[in-house]
A and B are shown apart, each in its own frame.
Chain A
């Protein structure tokens, strides 16, 4: 067994700082619980704020101190993201439970344990086995922005305890681990436990001192649990752990400390949630297909009952992805177009629709596959900024009426790119040469490229049509189109190809003279582009 403990000494402070706007994270911060400071960051500690002070005292020392309530749920969500990141390295991940709390003090777990014996060879070969894995683990945890203590030891509890005292501890074998534990201070066993003050008061400094006492006496005085914990840490008794299981649906929330008015502020919070989503995806080698971002608004701004208390928007991807930069860019474009009814207090990210597939290869040279992906991303980006209906495709419909023969519909990025990939097999057609003698293909009705959706009425002079004051010379026609009696859009037209004096060709029609037709005359339908 080889356990790696990832201890986050500043977990609650960091999980709180993540809810602040980016600029405010370096100011003095402190968390309090039951009107007493429980933790303070480095700038606050420089001003003299330290755990145990009363709220009023802390504010007297540092008037600009940002004070917030410790929140066990917030810490838990942050720690879950760390555990999900670890799951990408080994299936055996467990969260070291905090010591059972007695009294007011609420201890939250802040250590993740990984059993990595089986993963060593995969991550980094034989020589620098563990180093390679730990480097990758640290790199994977960078986006979450926590300060880490790493310890590895043959026993789970030993690693967890030693990670609390050492920033980096490498316990290659049991004997070394036991020696390190012997030298470890006795307070490691945790504040909040029963008899902890008595332990402190007995003059015991290190765990070796505690182990030197007679076992029966310790058991009678402090209970068997303490001895059991020591034995597990030293590897004298087995220490089975239950591994965490990845939730099937991703759900994470972030309560913002200050209300967010601008897109940038929202994106800062959303970026953190995306990091957690990506950790969850990476743990199961999956890519997200769609996710939902819920923005809960400040209640005070709900002027009337019609204003919604939250805004939900869903982001669907053409190609499943877990690329942070791409997802964040799509969010930015979508949020920029969203008018929010009120400032946002809380963000929630929800994802259930995922695709499991092999990770993309990192390619040096462009390949059809990478080009297809790049094209998909481009289309997605355009759709996110301009809206789906602005990215269009044409389709030819079998209808004689020119205004109904072409349908413009929003493009489906997937199908465009699929057609694009398959078309390579098409045989090359001959490029027409510029020769005055070629004829248009026989039997095909010639249609102009540019169409007017509604015929533009033309002026007439001596019952001859005029376009912009210029006479039109009819060259070919008439081509009669009489269709559409079944859907109440009957057309009865005679089409002609006509020439402007400068030689440009247009497509015009004359409506047929009928009693039912209110406006007979000439109309412009299209231009031959």
Chain B
């Protein structure tokens, strides 16, 4: 958005220059601004940085992400209420692709123990995962952010997945976003859902919530492009067989209906 005004002022004023040169430029700006400069895009279009993204493995998601995938050299912020709703399965196609290209994946402060068998089932090479655990230190936030910043700045890590401490200050995140410019690969930061109320320095922000068994609801809160009203529903790499999944779907729909009913009854009871 903020790239537009300088480009618009760079346009020659109409009376001074002949319209012959004016027209093509204006048309290019209107139809394909990225041919003028790769980072130029209009507000109602989706930004395109095709060479600087890596595919997420989900066609529905790729279609909505600027450039058709997770951005490289920038933070992608994922908001979720609690771990264990399918976030690893969402990221696993991208992270395993990074590992297959021979680069290291680093995890910072995972909130619980990771199961090596489960990761291997998702296609990870467990030997190639490096886990930096700073949570148990006396000074948690300082050291964990330092470590994350070092990894991003070094530019030698393939992908970074970090669980940030809660209530992180905005300038800390901006600092990480600056460090991510040197990081040639996707960088995911996972934060608590309440962070959605505050602005973020990351160019991409997603809210994740479970949407039934082996499915994940994804809302794009911020992206380089127009806002997306309807949440996406992605089918994750499955845990359940299809028969069980069908049963789970039925239970989920029934459960969500019951939950709404329960809320209504609760409110009625309060009154």
Q: Are B154 and A374 in contact (CB-based, < 8 A)? A: yes
User: Which chain B residue lies CB-closest to A396?
Assistant: B116
Q: Are A416 and B127 in contact (CB-based, < 8 A)? A: yes
- Pick the contact of B151 from A368, A378, A397, A502 — CB < 8 Å? A378
Contacts of B99 in A (CB 8 A): 423
Contacts of A444 in B (CB 8 A): 121
Contacts of A407 in B (CB 8 A): 116
Contacts of B238 in A (CB 8 A): 438-440
Q: Are A406 and B89 in contact (CB-based, < 8 A)? A: no
* Residues from 316 to 365 in A contacting B, C-beta threshold 8 Å: none
* Residues from 427 to 457 in A contacting B, C-beta threshold 8 Å: 428-429, 431-441, 444, 446-453
Query: In angstroms, how far is the closest chain B Cβ from the Cβ of A438?
Result: 6
* Residues from 118 to 132 in B contacting A, C-beta threshold 8 Å: 118-123, 125-132
A419 interface contact, C-beta 8 A: yes
**Known: A439-B242, A449-B122. Contact between A390 and B251, CB under 8 A?**
no
A375 interface contact, C-beta 8 A: yes
B30 interface contact, C-beta 8 A: no
Q: Are A529 and B102 in contact (CB-based, < 8 A)? A: no
Query: In angstroms, how far is the closest chain B Cβ from the Cβ of A301?
Result: 26
Contacts of B155 in A (CB 8 A): 374
Chain B count of residues within 8 A CB distance of the other chain: 81
Contacts of B213 in A (CB 8 A): 475, 499, 503, 505
B55 interface contact, C-beta 8 A: yes
Flag the segment in A43-51, A54-62, A121-129, A380-388 that touches B.
Answer: A380-388
Contacts of A103 in B (CB 8 A): none
The CA of A471 and the CA of B235, in the complex, are separated in Å by 24
The main secondary structure of chain B at its interface with chain A is: mixed
The main secondary structure of chain A at its interface with chain B is: mixed
The CA of A505 and the CA of B89, in the complex, are separated in Å by 12
Q: Are A475 and B87 in contact (CB-based, < 8 A)? A: no
- Pick the contact of B156 from A378, A408, A438, A475 — CB < 8 Å? A378
Contacts of A187 in B (CB 8 A): none
Contacts of A397 in B (CB 8 A): 116
A392 interface contact, C-beta 8 A: yes
The CA of A411 and the CA of B130, in the complex, are separated in Å by 7
Query: In angstroms, how far is the closest chain A Cβ from the Cβ of B28?
Result: 34
Q: Are A529 and B113 in contact (CB-based, < 8 A)? A: no
Contacts of A436 in B (CB 8 A): 235, 242, 245
* Residues from 16 to 34 in B contacting A, C-beta threshold 8 Å: none
B137 interface contact, C-beta 8 A: yes
B59 interface contact, C-beta 8 A: yes
B165 interface contact, C-beta 8 A: no
Query: In angstroms, how far is the closest chain B Cβ from the Cβ of A479?
Result: 13
A102 interface contact, C-beta 8 A: no
The CA of A444 and the CA of B117, in the complex, are separated in Å by 10
Q: Are B242 and A402 in contact (CB-based, < 8 A)? A: no
* Residues from 225 to 271 in B contacting A, C-beta threshold 8 Å: 234-242, 244-245, 247-248, 251-252, 255-256, 258-259
Contact with B along A384-405 (1 / 0, CB 8 A): 0110001111111100001001
A140 interface contact, C-beta 8 A: no
Chain A count of residues within 8 A CB distance of the other chain: 73
Q: Are A406 and B259 in contact (CB-based, < 8 A)? A: no
Q: Are B131 and A408 in contact (CB-based, < 8 A)? A: yes
Contacts of A421 in B (CB 8 A): 102
A527 interface contact, C-beta 8 A: yes
Query: In angstroms, how far is the closest chain B Cβ from the Cβ of A222?
Result: 67
Q: Are A416 and B239 in contact (CB-based, < 8 A)? A: no
Query: In angstroms, how far is the closest chain B Cβ from the Cβ of A436?
Result: 5
* Residues from 73 to 131 in A contacting B, C-beta threshold 8 Å: none
Q: Are B154 and A378 in contact (CB-based, < 8 A)? A: yes
The CA of A476 and the CA of B242, in the complex, are separated in Å by 12
Listed by A's residue number, 30 A-B pairs whose Cβ atoms lie within 8 Å are A378-B151, A379-B130, A386-B137, A390-B137, A392-B131, A392-B132, A406-B116, A415-B127, A416-B104, A423-B99, A431-B57, A431-B93, A434-B60, A448-B115, A448-B118, A450-B83, A450-B112, A450-B115, A453-B113, A475-B248, A497-B239, A499-B213, A501-B256, A502-B209, A502-B256, A503-B212, A503-B215, A506-B84, A529-B84, A529-B88
Residues of A with Cβ closer than 8 Å to B? 368, 371, 374-375, 377-379, 381-382, 385-386, 390-397, 402, 405-408, 411, 415-417, 419-421, 423-424, 426, 428-429, 431-441, 444, 446-453, 471, 473, 475-476, 497, 499-506, 526-529
